[in-house]
Amino acid sequence: MRIFLASVMFVVIGGIALAAERPVPLKDAPGRQMTENLCSGCHSLDYIRINAPFMNRQTWTAEVNKMIQAFGAPIAAPDASTIIEYLSANYGPPG
């Protein structure tokens, strides 16, 4: 009986935890789909929005290159350029 109750509790608590997680919408612009697909494989897309106030083209370039070189993100050079362009245009300083 204890195992059954423990199993039920696990399912209920796990269901609540999963229900609380919501997808992070990124700004709709060219490069969004690629950015979502390639970046979300390793980390939450919250990372982009949280760090955006501190990032410009130079820092986004360094960040994407770090993900590729230091962490082994499987991103081809043309895709990295698309991601950098998207992040710089949509999550960087205005102007």
pLDDT at 13: 66
In SS3 terms, the chain reads as: CHHHHHHHHHHHHHHHHHHHCCCCCCCCCCCHHHHHHHHCCCCCCHHHHHHHHHCCHHHHHHHHHHHHHCCCCCCCHHHHHHHHHHHHHHCCCCC
For residue 15, pLDDT over 60 is answered with no
Average pLDDT over residues 12-29: 70
Tell me the C-alpha to C-alpha distance, in Å, between residue 10 and each of 18, 20, 54, 91: 12, 16, 40, 39
Q: What is the mean pLDDT of residues 6-35?
A: 74
Structure tokens at 60: 């986004």
* Mean residue pLDDT across the chain: 86
Q: Give tens-digit pLDDT for 47-92.
A: 999 999 999 999 999 999 999 999 999 999 999 999 999 999 999 8
The token pair at 89 is 């245009």
| More confident of the two residues 15 and 85 | 85
Output the pLDDT for position 94. 74
CATH of 25-90, one of 1.10.760.10, 1.10.1660.10, 1.20.1530.20, 3.40.50.620: 1.10.760.10
> What amino acid is encoded at 20 in this protein?
A
Higher model confidence: residue 43 or residue 21? 43
